[in-house]
Structures are given as structure tokens and as C-alpha cells.
Structure 1
Amino acid sequence: MKVLSKRQISLINHLTQESGWLATSQAAKMLNISVSTLRRDVEAINLYFTDKGHSVISKPGLGLKLEANDVVPLPLISGDAQVVNILKNKRLVGIATDLLTHSPTPLSISFLAEKYFISRSSIVEDLIKVEKWLECFSLRMIKNHTGTFIDGNDYDIRMALKEIITHSVLCNYHMTDSRIDRFSRVQLIKEFGKDNVANCINLIAFIEDELTCAISEPYYTNLFSHLLVTIRRLEKRIVCPADEAAPVHDNKEWQIAEKAIAWLEQKYTLRFPQIEINYIYQYLVSSGKHPVHAVHPDRGVQDQEALHYAIKLTSLLSQLLKCDLISDQPLLNALVMHIKPMLNRLAFRIIIHNPLLDEIKKELSPVFLAVRNATMQINNYSKHDPPSEDEIAYLTVYIQAAIEKIKENKKIILVCSSGVGTSQLLYSRITKAFPDWEIIDIVPGSRLKETLAEKKCDLIISTIRIEEMMIPVAYVSALFSAKDIIRVTEALFSKRQTQESEYVK
């Protein structure tokens, strides 16, 4: 659920009053914030405006400008506890689900009061809370003499329902390793029916068999939520308008999407609109998958857009984190496989949730911030929307794993001119800073060439100047301070920095 702060709403209000460009420095001054904070606010606003046809454009030398296709709706303030906590209340979730699945059919207050065993006045209070939550999806609650119903386009209604289902599954993420655990299944059965839940699970199993791979989380839950919403809406004979002709694709995923719709039509004896094939196709090409058999990606057939994005990302992160990620081929392959569906999600505006987002932001904060910074820089030259924090958190895990791998199994030679005591202190501090590294020898400068003829190493750490080597050299003080740790990591980073041009070709 995307919400904004009061300051971000204030920025939108300022921009709506401007007929042209608003200077970045002037906007920052009006809000009493730094330019870097202003940039983060613009990113949050554009994320909020995803699917709404609005955006804040930022151009060097000109400033900021609001582009809107229609009247800009008032965003929701994130501090509203009613909105933040609505999905934690079973009754509110039930009422929201009823209204969304029946929309545009009105439901009476008496019907809802009877169903949930509470007074009409309590239902009225609940509807106020649900109404605020629905505003996050550009949906309106209409109340008239016929009852209460949701007004909005089918896509936004589906997104709201998907949010409910996804939260029901992911809020129990830490309880189990299964994809749709028993507790979540009970809750979903209560809201959507046993047969519908079972059919969605069976259909995804059929799709996985056709793909010959397993759909991993959170993509499984995303597809599951979409199918469950589709079935519920079709059961209520609510068909999404076919305004736009869906493109037809000649590939395996499209054929599987066609088979999936045929499977549903046979199960429910209902005719599904053609657009539903396209929806399932979008989820299939936007999902992370685990092949049944190990696959080693061939760089020659890798998606070029994803490859370019991965190369740019590792290049920027190598500079930001002072760590050599450019020459890590396994990392590049893994990123390409992840980024290809990620770019599809951004293109199709498919939102995923990362249940470990808060933990990743807390525990891996430096890497998370660096990845966010890098993706923002890439986005300046990209046709896609910027990745959400959930997407950034998934990328962060790949980068953190690669960084930790870099620190492993390095063979080091120490070059010292000082006495035994000093060299032992240096040895002790290096092994403490890099516990997985192996110091294979400690030698004076005069014996270095002789030692290198006998032993191979990844890095030379020296307290004295030595002649230029093919092996990277880090010059440190005998006391090995925090600055020396940075010098060592920078030396490793520069080891293959020249290889960057080879990857860009």
C-alpha cells in the first residue's frame, strides 16, 4: 500500500500551483529540507502515482514539474493508523473483501451487520476506516439508498483484493516455509471458498509442470492472488471491460497462459475474456523461477536489456561500496536472471512484497542504500519506473552475498620492515578484520620476489614501498587502522576495475 508523508503532499500542492518548472533549490527551501531529501521525496511521490497517470519530472537546470493527465487526487498520509492497521483487523478485511468482490453491486448496512454480528452503527464506523484504505487504490466508496458499493476501474479493484490476499499469506511468512501455509489457507477458504483456493493451487501446479520449473516466492503468492481474484470476480459475473486489444505473443509463456485459461473455463464452465490470457502471461514473464534441472546461463542468449542493467548496476555499486563486483561472473549471471522478470514487473506495474524488507533495511542498511542510489541513477536513463523498496531489498541480498564471498578465501602476503612484534600485531589485526583470509607468509621487501616465485597470492599488504607488481598491493600502517581496512578493500576493487570495459561490450 503506497502512502505519502505530509511533506510529500505539501510538495505536490506546491507543484500543482506552478504553471512551469519549480527550481529544485527553491522547492527544498520551501520545505526546509536538503536537495538530496527532496530527491527521495520525488521518488516516493512517483511511486505513489504509479498506475495513476501522473508523475513529477526532474531535469537538471530546470527543476521539478508535475505532469498530470487528470485531476490529481489527494494522497493518503502514512501516519493514519487506521489505514496502516486495517489489514490486521479480520472484520475490516472481511468487509473490504465483500465490497470489492461484489462491486459494483451495492451491499446494505443491514446485510453486513447481520453477517458480522455487530450493530449498524459499528458497521458505519468500519466503513469509514475501509473507505480511507480504499483511497490508496484510487477507489471511492459510494453510499446511497440502494446500499454501499465501490466505484473504480477493474484493475484498481483487483489490486486492492490482491493486497488483502498477499497480506494474509505473507503476514505468516515466518511461521512456515510452505508457499500457502495451512493457517493462511484456512483464512483464504473462509473468504473465498475451499474449491476456489484448491483450484488456484492446482492450476499453479499445472502451470509449473508446463514451465518445467517451480515459481518461487513472492511470485507464487502474486500469481495465486491474481487467480483467486479473477475467479471471484468472474463468479460474480463481473467482467473487466475489454477496452484495449491485448497483444498476442508467440512464445512458451503465452501458450501456457492460454492453457491456464482453458483449464479455468473447463473447471468453472465460464467464458473468460481474452484479456485474462494477457494478465496471466504478464505474471509468468514477471516471475522468478527455479528450473527443475540446473541451468547455466549462456551469455550469448541472455536478455540484452537485463544484461546491460546488471552491468551498470555492478559498475555503480563497485564504486559506491568500494568493492570489486564487476568481475564476479556468477553474480552477473544471477542478477540477469533476476532483473529480466523485474524489468517486466516494472513495465507491467506488477507489485511484489518482500516479507523481509524491514530486516534487510535494518541489517544490510549500507548495501540497501547503495543499491537504491544505483537504481535511481540507472532510472535516469531508463524507460521503466524506479524499483520499489521491496524490489531493491531483493537486489540487496544478491549484492550482500557477493560482498561476503569476496571476503572469503583470499591468500595474503605481508611485507614488513619492522620487528617481529610489529609484524605479529599487523598479522593479528588483519585476521581480525578479515577472518576468512589466509596470510600465507610474512616477509621483508628483499625476499618478496623469491616468495612470489614459490607461492601464489591474491593481495600483497605492505608497510613499505615496493616495486610495481601485477598483483594488487595495499599500503598500510603497522597499526592497521580503519583507514587501512578501506585501503585494502580498495586495492582488491582496483584489481580488475579495468575489466569493466570488457563487460560493457
Structure 2
Amino acid sequence: MQDSKMNSRVKKILLRVCAEDKYVTIATIAQELGVSTKTILRELYEVEQWLTAKGCSLSKKTGAGIKVNGSIDRKTIILDILQGEKEDNIYSPKERQIVMISELLQNQEAVKLYNFTKILKVTEGTISNDLDKVEQWFEKQGIKLIRKPGLGVYIEGQETNIRKAMVHFIYENIEEDQLLGVIRNSLMKSANQSTDIETKTQRRLLNLINKEVIHKLESSIQDAEGKMGHKLADSAYVGLIVHLALAVQRIKKNEEIRIDQEFLQELKSYPEYLVATEMVASIAKNFVIKIPESEIGYITMHIRGSKNRNDYIKDTKKMIGNFELVRISKEIIKIAELETGRLLAHNENLLVGLVNHLGPSICRLKMNMDIRNPFLEEIKAFYPELIAISRKCSAVVEKQLGIKMPDSEIAYIAMHLGAAMETVEKLPKPVYRCAIACSTGIGTSRLLATKIQKEYDNIQIVDIISTIHIEENSLREKNVDFIISTVTIDYCSIPVVTVNPLLFEEDKIRINQQMRLLVNKVDSYSSKIGNEVKFKDKLFSLQSYGKAILEILENFFLMKDDEARTIEEMIHRVSSLLGVNAAMAKELAYALQQREEKGGTLITGHGFVLLHCRTNAVEKLYFGVVQNKNKIYAINGKNQREEIKLGIIMIAPEQNSENAMETISHLSQMIIEKPDFIRVLEQGIQEDAAREVSNILEEFYKIKNEHLKGE
């Protein structure tokens, strides 16, 4: 966003939140600005971008809202800057696109670009750029945007898709309660508070549904409610009105919707079809139009889709049975319990809520009807973790019923789960004691340990070991429950889970399965408090860490390789550099190659290979970087071809102290955790790279010193 011009609404949001020390809810800001919460959520990206450019950040907190992070002085400066910002009180790109989509949906003829430039007061070049976004929107709706030089632009698509697009467009940009206000003749009470541009944009949107048509339709719907014996919920009432208003307007333009004849015959077997038939007769008479049978089918679908949720428990036609709903709901709860660590399995309210909710939702999805969720954007913005869990749970429905769950429905399930989680306690988690293993005990094992610690709060890493030197008795003494290894381990009586060092989803599944096998274990282990570490022992430990750091700094190297075209060639080039003689170089190359054969060391998605080993070919620790001039490719952990831009080299003597191994492994950990570190290594400047390595190891030494002081 340029400093010279700022969207007036973005400026108002910034002024509001910068003036507060506490969180402000999205709903509060929306009400004060006279716009919808969707509009505020849509502008948050630009708000964050602007704050970032000024050295501040925006904090989002579930249930509380948003606030600007920073001192009072900093916020005062920000407010001063805002006062000087020029407002761009014209249509924003999003508002321009809304107007353009609205015009294209309403017009059967081509619309000239000049018309858009006149309405929106921008150049044809800007209109052309906006049309790229508009085209993407129509593509998602299954509609083509046709551009004809000299003629203009227009849309082409099936009537079903055009109607769906109209409905989707209306709900995408207008809150449901605002639509209800339109229907009840109270067009957006807050309109007088909103900007002229906002009001104009919404009025153009509402042109899609003629208010006169709406008022004529109401009596027909009220008669239908009487025949059904119950009133429609507000959301269902709005949905049916919008559908009928669009249908009447499209029929007047001779646009007829089509329906599968076999499905239509099935719809005729429902009592709602008779209600829809009588409703259509009334509408046809009021508007003096002929309504085709296909429209009756779609109205039937709407009435069925708007039924009271409890009615579905009794209705088995075109619905999965109640038993099946209970089974699917229990599967959802089971997955949610595993993902959240909350006791949900015996929550009767959650089970009943899901069963009652899923009934009509599945019915709508099976009839290819949209599911709208007015809270979707807020849930996605403030509950991303809950959405992720709900998405995993929704996979059960997709797999068993063969239907695609839209984000709106996933958000509804998230709401049910979130409400249940508020009232239940966490599952008591047993703590599992694990050893992390790779073929050397350095490098990939340290990367994996970092990932495990971040991912699992109930896994305690008690040792990092080499697969060559597994001492089962020692591991049993440490009460190790299972080993997590980057390479396959044969002939080990302790359970082993083999994973990728970057810990992909399938690896987590294997670890979770292993923990479930041990789920009955009671964590009776309590850390034994030994004698206080003696001063002399502390000195020896610090001396050991210091010796390792000095070795790494003295032996650090950065090599630019313009010859190697494979990982094997890279290995031989490095070995030739570090080997004190030909025999040692050969032994080092063999050790690195052996490690590579046990499992590729390409770090997926990061573009570097971590070549490491323990060998008698060296007497000290080595850490270095190889920059490849030629393109080298390897198959990564996702079974995809990936380019290797960098080689990270870590070599340790066969016999070395645990402290030394921990020190060099810390560097591999920092490569993943500190993006700046890998960037410095990629730049290839020896002095800068050596300085960064030194800074990291200095910080590591300070931490170790503080830790030993506290013991």
C-alpha cells in the first residue's frame, strides 16, 4: 500500500484501534463505521500491511478482537502519521469488482468498458486489471467471462450456475440480517453512517433482487408456511425469498433453469413438492408468468433444505438413517478428542448437536445446494486451529458419503466442537520417554528432536543416539518407551518408529499410533533428583562445550563448487578438501556415502542437503557449507524432485563427548529455526557466515553457562 493514498475505511479502522490500549471487537468497529463485519475482516490485511511498514504489528485474540502492539509513545506517533495520510475516498479495488460483477450478472448484453470507467471514475487500464479478478471469481462459479474488443464484456454459463452465482454473490457481500432488513422494508439502518461509496456499492448489489418483487412474494411464502404447519427460520425465509426473487426476474428474461429428470421424479415423492406446486401457482398468477416444472423442483429443494433440524430424525427418505448419523457423529468426536486432547466422547450435548446439525446439512449437500455460514470469516480469522481440526473431522463425512464438505459446513462443525470444548476438561496425557536416533547421532537427529519438542508436549526426549551404538540396557535404565529414528533399526526389542527428519503428517500418524499402543501406561516415572552437580563437574562441562566450539570455529569452511553435478560428486569434493591424505579422504567419503544410502539427507522444501557422519577419518569437529554452481537434484521426502542449492557439512570423530555432539547438532537445529542463518550461508561470504556461526555458538555457550549455574 502506498503512503500517498490510503483507503478511507482502512484509515478509520487504524484510527480506532490505535486510540485504544485494549482489544476492540470486529463487531464494534463494524457497527461504528456502519459496515458489515465481513467488510472489516476484508480490510484487515491492508491494516496489518500498513502497521508492519511503520514498525508495528496487529494482535488478534480469540473472542477479544484486535489491537495494535506498541508503547503509548509509538501509538501516538502512529496516530500523528495517520492524521497526515491522504484519504482515497473513491471505490476500492474490491468495491469496483463488486459493482462490475453486479452489472455483469444483471445484463444479458455486453457491457462496454466505457460504462465501467464512467461509473467507477477510473481508467480503462484499471478496469482491465479489475476484470482479471472478476474473471477468476466467475470461473469459480463455473461461468465464463467473455471479452470482445469493441463490443465489451459479458458472461456465458448454464442458468443453474448463473443463479447460484447471484445467490453466492449476494450472501458474500451482504450480511443475512441486512437482507432480512431489506425484506422487511428497513434497508440497512446503518447506511446513513456508512460512506457514500459503501452505500452506492450495496445499492448496486441489491439491484439483483427487486424490492417490489420481494413484497409480492411474501404472501405466497406465508401461505406455504400455513400448509407446512410451521414457520421458516429467518435464514431459511431469506434464502427462499432470494431464490424466488431471482427466479421471477430470470424467468421474465426467458432464462429457464434445468433439472435432472430422474431427480425431479424423486422430488415429486416428497410432501414439500405439493407445497411448492401450490406456491408456484400463486406466484405465476401474481406476476403473470409461466413457471416451468423445473422451478418447482428447485423450490422443493429449498423447502426441504429449510426444514427444522429435528424433523430429519424422523425422515429417512433421501437421507441417511439416524443410526448412520450417530455413527458418523461419533467418528467426528473421536477424531476431535485425539486432536484436542479433550474429553469429548461422553458429551451427550455435542453428539445430539452434531446429529441434528448434520441431518439437514447432508441433505442440502446431496441436493447440490449451498450451505451458508454468516460466521465463516470470523471463525477462519480467530479460530484457525479449530478450523484445522474440523477439516480433519469432516474428512469422515466426505469419505463415507462421497460428498465434498464446503468451508461453511466445516466452520459449523468447528462451532459445535468449540462450544463443547469450553465445558470439558483436558484428557490426562501420559508422558512418553523417547530416544531420538539417526545413523550418527548428530545432524538429522537434532532437527527431528526440535520438531518433536514443538509438536508434542507429552514426549520427553531423554537421549539422542547413534543407531550404530544402541545400548538397550542403558535406554531401559532411562525408562525409554520407544525410539524415534530417521533410519530403520533392525533387531531392537524397544519399539521403533521410523520417520522423516522434517516430521511429515504421515510420520505424526505413526508416532500417534505408537503412543496409542502404550496408552494404558501410567507415567509413574518421576525425575530422580541426583546430588547437586559439583563445581568441578560444572567446570569440566563448560570446558567440554568450549573445546567443541573452538574446534568448529577453527575448522569452519565455505566452499564454492563449480564441478559437482551429483550429491556423490559433492561428497568426494568435500572429502578431498578435509582428508589429511588420500586414505583419510577415501574413508571420509565412504562414511558420508554410507549415511546417504541409509536415507536421503535432503531437507525437504529448504533446498539444501545435510551431509553428516561420525568417522575415524577426522580427529576434530567440522562444520562447513558447499555452494553449488551447477544444478543438482534429488528426490525429497514428498517423493518430488527438488533442487539442491547448498550442502551443509557436519563431521565428527567416531569417539567424542556428548557435549561435543550436542554443540555441533545445535547448528543444524538453528538452520531450521533461524531463517536468517541459512540466508547468510546462501550468500556465500566467508566472513559473514563465520561471524553468524560464532554468534550462534556464543549464545549457546551462554545458555549452557546459565543452566549450569542454576543447578
What's the TM-score, normalizing by structure 2? 0.39
Task: Give per-residue Cα distances to partners, 1:214-238, cap 9 Å, x unaligned.
Answer: 4446544443332232122112222
Q: Are the counterparts in 1 of residues 113 and 127 from structure 2 also a CA contact under 8 Å?
A: yes
Rounded Cα–Cα distance in structure 1 between residues aligned with 2:216 and 2:363: 26
Q: Which residue of 180, 198, 202 maps to 2:215?
A: 198
Does residue 153 in structure 1 map to residue 153 in structure 2? no
Indicate how the Cα distance of structure 1 residues 191 and 325 shifts in structure 2: closer, same or farther if over 3 A, else same: same
Write the letter of the residue equivalent to 1:252: P
Give the drift of 1:391: 0.6
Cα separation, 2, equivalents of 1:299 and 1:172 = 30
Task: Sort the Cα spacing of 1:223 and 1:309 in 2 relative to 1 into closer, same or farther, 3 A.
Answer: farther
SS in 2 for 1:355: coil
Q: Mapping of 1:187-336 within 5 angstroms?
A: 187=203, 189-216=206-233, 218-241=235-258, 244=261, 246-247=264-265, 248-287=267-306, 289=308, 303-336=322-355
Percent identity (aligned): 20
| Structure 2 counterpart of 1:350 | 369
Equivalent position SS for 2:153:
strand
> What is the CA–CA distance in structure 2 between the aligned matches of 1:174 and 1:119, rounded to whole Å?
30
Cα distance change on mapping 1:365 and 1:194 into 2, 3 Å: closer
Q: What is the Cα deviation at residue 323 of structure 1?
A: 3.6
**Structure with more relative contact order (C-alpha pairs < 8 Å, separation 6 or more):** 1
Distance 1:270 1:303, change over 3 A: farther
Give the secondary structure class of the aligned counterpart of 2:155: strand
Shift of 1:325: 3.3
Q: Distance in 1 between matches of 2:154 and 2:418?
A: 47
CA distance, structure 2, for counterparts of residue 98 and residue 361 of structure 1: 30
CA distance in 1, matches of 2:414, 2:92: 29
The number of residues matched between the two structures is 325
Q: Aligned with 1:381: secondary structure?
A: helix
Query: How far is the alpha carbon of 1:341 from its aligned partner?
Result: 1.4
Is the 8 Å Cα contact of residues 210 and 245 (structure 2) preserved in structure 1?
Answer: no
Give the structure 1 partner of residue 142 of structure 2: 138
Alpha-carbon distance change, 107 to 378 in structure 1, aligned in 2, over 3 angstroms: closer
Deviation readout 1:418-454 (Å, 9 max, x if unpaired): xxxxxxxxxxxxxxxxxxxxxxxxxxxxxxxxxxxxx
Bigger-Rg structure (1/2): 2
Q: Using the TM superposition, give the Cα deviation of residue 207 of structure 1 relative to its aligned residue in structure 2, in angstroms.
A: 4.0
Q: Quote the Cα distance in structure 2 between the aligned partners of 1:124 and 1:168.
A: 20
CA contact (8 A) 2:232 2:307 kept: yes
Q: CA deviation at 1:120?
A: 8.4
1:340 aligned to 2:362? no
CA contact (8 A) 1:131 1:141 kept: yes
Provide the C-alpha distance between the structure 2 equivalents of 1:296 and 1:139, rounded to a whole number of angstroms: 34
Residue in structure 1 matching 2:171, options 161, 166, 170: 166
Corresponding residue SS for 2:422: helix
Residue range with higher mean Cα deviation, 230-239 or 140-149: 140-149
Q: 1:360 to 1:261 in 2, by over 3 A?
A: same
**Residue 118 (structure 1) shift:** 5.2
Q: CA distance change for structure 1 residues 137 and 361 in 2, over 3 Å: closer, same or farther?
A: closer
String of CA shifts for 1:130-157, please: whole Å, max 9, x gaps. 3343222232223446553211111221
What residue identity is the alignment partner of 1:141?
L
CA distance in 2, matches of 1:403, 1:288: 28
Query: What residue in structure 1 maps to residue 700 of structure 2?
Result: none
Q: Which residue of 2 aligns with 1:388?
A: 406
CA contact (8 A) 2:114 2:124 kept: no
Q: What is the rounded CA distance, in whole Å, between the counterparts of 1:165 and 1:372 in structure 2?
A: 26
| Runs of at least 5 residues in structure 1 that lack an aligned partner in the other structure | 1-84, 409-473, 479-505
Q: Read off the aligned partner of 2:271 and give its amino acid letter.
A: K
